[in-house]
Amino acid sequence: MQPKSENFICIVACILFAFSPVMAQEDIVSIDTLSLGGAIAIALQHQPLLQVAQANLYSAQASKKVALSSYFPAITATGTAAHTEGVFVFNPSIPTRNQVYSNYVAGFAGSQLLWDFGKTSSRVGANTDFVEASQQDLRSTRDNVVMNVQLAYFTFLQARSVVTVNEEAVEQAARHLAQAKAFYTVGTRPQFDVTRAEVDLANANVNLIQARNQLQVARVQLDNAMGVRTTRPYRLTDSLGTAPVSLNLDSVRTLAALHRPDILAAQARYSGYQSLTSSARSQHLPTLSANGSYNWSGFDVRLYPRWIAGLTFTLPIFQGFSINAQVEQAEATAEIARASLNTLTENVMLEVEQAYLGVAEAQERMVATAKLVEQAEQNLILAERQYAAGVGTALDITDAQLTRSNARITNIQALFDYNSSLVKLQKAIGMVSD
């Protein structure tokens, strides 16, 4: 029988699990086959990072509406009902008397800003820039989500290709072991060849186990990039591309400066903070507004109308240096935004150049490793023929098999690096493709 403390812990754990929002049911999907486009579509629907960026955009749009509200009149309705009873003293020379009466007041009041020398327009302009910045942030987040899905998809393809290589290596090692046993049985090969073939098969199986584990890890990483949980393994329909592309470093730098969303967002924020600085300076200037009211008031039942209309002119004379401090604060914030923009631009140009060089290097490596695979295949065929003819050794077979497997994995790595570098370059210049 469990102690009461353990029962309590179990109950609390069940309640927390039942109400936990960590993995909602709609985020659990069942997939049989998955293309790269399908993976991106799932991520755009389920990835929480996009929901955060979208909420930030809604917040910025709401702030702009708040700033725009100063252009419109403010109208309020009021109503008061009061009942009074008690002894009233009007004058020491007049006797006190009891009073019982009810007082009613109802009416409307309104005000309209006429001119504030740019304070409101600057705030509206700033919030317009902040909305643009949030839109670019959403686009930047979307680009990051798409890039992460593409990289995870390519990692899955790489892991799958490595599994295939290791499966073929196991089959090759098993055939070589059978061949070595047959030669040993007829006395043409020593026991060492059989032992060596058994070791090679064991090593191939270990490599296959590791490759399959990496494939499972890659699937989990792809699920995470899509923002979902899958119920069972699925098959990918695409493959690593090999089509070469012609690039120019100056062109990609120009594209990055024009299309990179985080640069555009930083530019918009800098412009917005400059507008807020102008708005802060405008607080030294006067404000002109119109106001009026229409009321009904009276005692008991009968009410009498009254209206008031006028203009209000406000000029700050001395506010304890608070306006000057606000201006200095706005100027400092704008300077921070300008410095952040410059820093970001430099980092983006570095990212662009690194991605460009990565694509060029991987493209050359694809050609070289393809030739390496071809040579390794020919070397293995030659080693097998020599062993079958009795002039080769088991070590020759082992070395040839290992060389071929390494060459194929190196070629797979070059294909992955080329595809991933190309995706990173597209993201670096702000032109991520779905």
- The one-digit pLDDT tens for each residue of the chain (434 residues) are 444 444 544 444 444 434 444 334 446 777 888 999 999 999 999 999 999 999 999 999 999 999 999 999 999 999 998 888 887 776 777 777 787 878 889 999 999 999 988 899 999 999 999 999 999 999 999 999 999 999 999 999 999 999 999 998 898 889 888 888 888 888 777 888 888 889 989 999 999 999 999 999 999 999 999 999 888 888 898 888 777 777 788 899 999 999 999 999 999 999 999 999 999 999 889 999 999 999 988 887 678 889 999 999 998 888 888 889 999 999 999 999 999 999 999 999 999 999 999 999 998 898 899 898 899 888 888 888 887 887 778 788 888 888 888 898 999 999 999 999 999 999 999 988 76
The domain in which residue 143 lies consists of 27-72+115-287+319-428
Bridge partner residues of 299 (DSSP): 103
DSSP string, 96-133: -EEEEEEEEEEEEEEEEEEE-TTHHHHHHHHHHHHHHH
In a domain, 254, yes or no: yes
Q: Are 233 and 159 in contact (CB under 8 A)?
A: no
**Spacing of C-alpha 268 from chain mean position:** 19
In a domain, 49, yes or no: yes
Residue 191 corresponds to which tokens in the numbers above?
């026991």
pLDDT (0 to 100) of residue 334: 95
Q: Are 296 and 304 in contact (CB under 8 A)?
A: yes
Residue 46 corresponds to which tokens in the numbers above?
């389920």
Instruction: Give me the number of domains the chain comprises.
Output: 1
- 3-state SS assignment for residue 186: coil
In a domain, 3, yes or no: no
Backbone angles phi, psi at 387, to 5 degrees: -70, -40
Residue 369 corresponds to which tokens in the numbers above?
């490793």
pLDDT (0 to 100) of residue 27: 65
Please give the Cα distance from 69 to 63 (Å, whole number). Answer: 10
C-alpha torsion angle, residues 28, 32, 38, 44 (rounded to 10): 0
14 C-beta neighbours (distance < 10 Å), count? 10
> What is the widest separation between alpha-carbon atoms in the chain?
143
DSSP string, 278-296: HHHHGGGS-EEEEEEEEEE
Backbone angles phi, psi at 199, to 5 degrees: -65, -45
Which domain CATH number covers 128? 1.20.1600.10
In a domain, 10, yes or no: no
45 C-beta neighbours (distance < 10 Å), count? 14
Q: Residue 179: what residue type? A: Q
- 3-state SS assignment for residue 8: helix
Dihedral angle sign, alpha carbons of residues 177, 178, 182, 188: negative
In a domain, 200, yes or no: yes
Please give the Cα distance from 226 to 41 (Å, whole number). Answer: 9
Please give the Cα distance from 258 to 227 (Å, whole number). Answer: 30
- 3-state SS assignment for residue 355: helix
In a domain, 350, yes or no: yes
pLDDT (0 to 100) of residue 10: 46
In a domain, 231, yes or no: yes
pLDDT (0 to 100) of residue 388: 82
In a domain, 53, yes or no: yes
Residue 126 corresponds to which tokens in the numbers above?
């700033």
Q: Please work out, in degrees rounded to the nearest 5, the angle formed at the alpha carbon of residue 91 by the alpha carbons of 88 and 95.
A: 65
- Closest among 234, 226, 222, 230 to 46, alpha carbons compared: 226
Please give the Cα distance from 229 to 231 (Å, whole number). Answer: 7
**Spacing of C-alpha 219 from chain mean position:** 20
Confidence (pTM): 0.80
Which residues, in sequence order, are CB contacts of 173 under 8 Å at separation 6+? 197, 200, 201, 203, 204, 401
pLDDT (0 to 100) of residue 5: 46
Residue 143 corresponds to which tokens in the numbers above?
């680009």
Which residues, in sequence order, are CB contacts of 30 under 8 Å at separation 6+? 230, 231, 232
**Spacing of C-alpha 143 from chain mean position:** 8
Please give the Cα distance from 300 to 104 (Å, whole number). Answer: 7
The counts of H helices and E strands in the chain are: 9, 8
